[in-house]
Amino acid sequence: MKIAMIGWEYPPFKVGGLGTHCYGLTKALADLDVKIDFFMPKFSSGKPEGSKNLNIKEVGITKVFPYDRPYEEALDDDFFESVYTYNRLCAEKINGCYELVHCHDWLTMQAGIAVKKKLGIPLVLTVHSTEYDRCGGIYPNEWFINIEKTGMENADRIIAVSNFTKRIIVEKYGIPEEKIRVVHNAVSPIGEGKKRKKIVLFLGRLTIQKGPEFFLRAAKRVLEKEDCLFVVAGSGDLLPRLVNLAVKLDIADKVMFTGPLTDEEVKHIYQISSVYVLPSVSEPFGITALEAVSAGTPTIISKTAGVSEVLKNSLVVDFWDVDEMANKIVALLRYKPLHKMLSENAKKEVAFFTWDRTAEKTLEVYNEVV
């Protein structure tokens, strides 16, 4: 089978779960003997490497990383322009003999539809997040929603990364359930490290969607009971507000903002942390929870995160319930048997979340349409 896949980011150039997903998925699909031409924008430095069955093809040039939903003020011409240009170029440049085209999220949907029509091949669309997730419940933007809806309507099959996302696609976008398949994400294991100090970790883009504010409010409560360090890793437009909040809550000396981290640093911080918290307001999947777990770090996951459907050995909370979040953080810091059992059992559990399995399920979806 030969397919065209349209992505936006690919390691080493990535800002979110989409890049990690495309990397894991394409490698594993290639192992299943699916030939993939992977299309992505050209970034200023270097080019990701392909492998057997996998060709990385760069299209056009972009300066922006618009995977995040930008704030209103950032929604300027540049941003729209680069998305449009990329989609137009993909639509023009993708030619040849493909059995299907597979695209990811709104960024690449228009190109996906155009290629489907031009080459007369089926379109498979993976939904990693929707506007309803990214907006964090405030002001969903019609412009994104319309692109997403058109993409979903035109897709022959939609892959949702969780049942949580599937429900949104059905309920908010009015897409018939029959066309949607749920394929959960996987993780490339990180391996355990030494835990010396009590560190509670948040790692993710600092946006409303990811709920970092709830993390800080829980930190305030935890510090009434336990002495520990809170690490907020990642960057995003909420950073200044979060720093102010930490000062206002009088916990600035116990909270560390790391800014963006390299892959190596990310691994390290997972390994040395005692607790990982994923307090997302709306999270289609939440691959970071699996990464933390694979590093032996127990996780506390928002109930509105798709990963909570599949990771049974974790603690779940409502993202807004900071007292309960704090209760669980303290319990993990205090009660060693709990920490040990969650760490061990979750590690065993994620061993089943392989990209090979995700690729096999994706291939099943391909086979339904070709």
Residues 224-243 touching another protein, rule: CB under 8 A, are 224-225
Considering the complex, state which of residue 99 and residue 349 has its C-beta at the smaller distance from another protein. Answer: 349
Cβ within 8 Å of residue 64, ≥6 positions away: 78, 79, 82
Q: Is 182 a residue that touches another protein (CB under 8 A)?
A: no
Strand, helix or coil for residue 257:
strand
- The CA–CA distances, whole Å, from 345 to 50, 189, 296, 335 equal 35, 15, 9, 16
Give me the least distance between CB of 30 and another protein, in Å please.
34
Q: What is the DSSP letter of 180?
A: E
Considering the complex, state which of residue 178 and residue 224 has its C-beta at the smaller distance from another protein. Answer: 224
User: Is the sign of the CA dihedral 180, 302, 16, 214 positive or negative?
Assistant: positive
Q: Which stretch binds another protein (CB under 8 A): 105-113, 145-153, 271-279, 310-318?
A: 310-318
Of 18, 315, 322, 350, the one binding another protein (CB under 8 A) is: 315
Q: Is 33 a residue that touches another protein (CB under 8 A)?
A: no
Considering the complex, state which of residue 93 and residue 312 has its C-beta at the smaller distance from another protein. Answer: 312
Q: How many residues belong to the site for another protein (CB under 8 A)?
A: 23
Query: How many CB atoms lie under 10 A from the CB of residue 152?
Result: 20
Q: Is 347 a residue that touches another protein (CB under 8 A)?
A: no
In whole angstroms, what is the distance from residue 355 CA to residue 370 CA? 22
* Backbone dihedral angles phi then psi of residue 201, each to the nearest 5 degrees: -115, 135
Q: Is 345 a residue that touches another protein (CB under 8 A)?
A: yes
Q: Is 338 a residue that touches another protein (CB under 8 A)?
A: yes
Q: Which stretch binds another protein (CB under 8 A): 74-82, 249-257, 340-348, 359-367?
A: 340-348
Residues 102-141 touching another protein, rule: CB under 8 A, are none
Considering the complex, state which of residue 145 and residue 331 has its C-beta at the smaller distance from another protein. Answer: 331
Considering the complex, state which of residue 349 and residue 360 has its C-beta at the smaller distance from another protein. Answer: 349
For residue 58 the two structure tokens come to 């760069």
- Core vs surface per residue 300-316: b (16+ CB within 10 A) or e: bbbebbbbbebbebbbb
For residue 99 the two structure tokens come to 């059995």
Interface residues with another protein (CB under 8 A)? 221, 224-225, 312-313, 315-316, 323-324, 326-328, 330-331, 334-338, 340-342, 345
